[in-house]
């Protein structure tokens, strides 16, 4: 279990992309990581775009980024909501400042844009927010997975197998 003793925040809000939350969460848990779902409220049920529920373990205000080794930001429409919470922005900025893995897929790039951590970084995302990413100073690539140090980005659900593997690989080296 190469990820034993690793703790990961997985952000959640209404209309997350079901697979983009659950696939990496299950993959990391299979390798021994402790993954907490963190939303606006603790013990709240959030529904994915396709109806798959996720119950948050903690509220944003309940967690300290310093207690965790990484953060996952799923796509869907949730990132547009997540980026409005100062606590979320602070968590992402903390992870960036301390070079801890930040996973983002699809529309999750919006959260990293709002955290102002993309200038000069190599990333990917859904092509639908390519301009947003570039306008934030990112260098955008149309690839399944892009790793720039501790930032691991991916485009969409078909890219989940390589994305989740690379995220786990990066986390294992921390």
Extract the tokens encoding 95: 């992870």
Mention every residue, 6+ apart, whose C-beta is less than 8 A from residue 31. Answer: 1, 2, 3, 168, 172
Residues written for the chain? 174
Question: Residue 162 in contact with residue 144, Cβ under 8 Å?
Answer: yes
Q: Is 98 a catalytic residue?
A: no
CB 140 within 8 A of CB 128: no
Task: Spot the catalytic one: 98, 107, 141, 150.
Answer: 107
Positions annotated as catalytic residues are: 107
């Amino acid at each position: 279990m190469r990820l034993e003793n690793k703790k990961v925040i997985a952000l959640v809000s209404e209309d997350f992309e079901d697979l983009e939350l659950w696939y990496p969460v299950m993959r990391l848990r299979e390798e021994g990581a402790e993954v907490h779902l963190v939303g606006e409220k603790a013990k709240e049920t959030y529904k994915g775009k396709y109806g798959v529920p996720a119950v948050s373990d903690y509220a944003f205000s309940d967690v300290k980024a310093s207690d965790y080794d990484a953060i996952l930001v799923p796509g869907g429409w949730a990132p547009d909501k997540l980026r409005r919470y100062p606590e979320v922005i602070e968590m992402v900025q903390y992870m960036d400042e301390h070079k801890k893995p930040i996973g983002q897929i699809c529309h999750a790039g919006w959260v990293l844009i709002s955290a102002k951590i993309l200038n000069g970084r190599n990333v990917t995302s859904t092509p639908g927010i390519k301009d947003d990413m570039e306008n934030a100073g990112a260098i955008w690539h149309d690839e399944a997975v892009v790793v720039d140090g501790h930032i691991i980005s991916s485009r969409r659900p078909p890219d989940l197998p390589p994305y989740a593997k690379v995220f786990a690989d990066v986390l294992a080296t921390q």
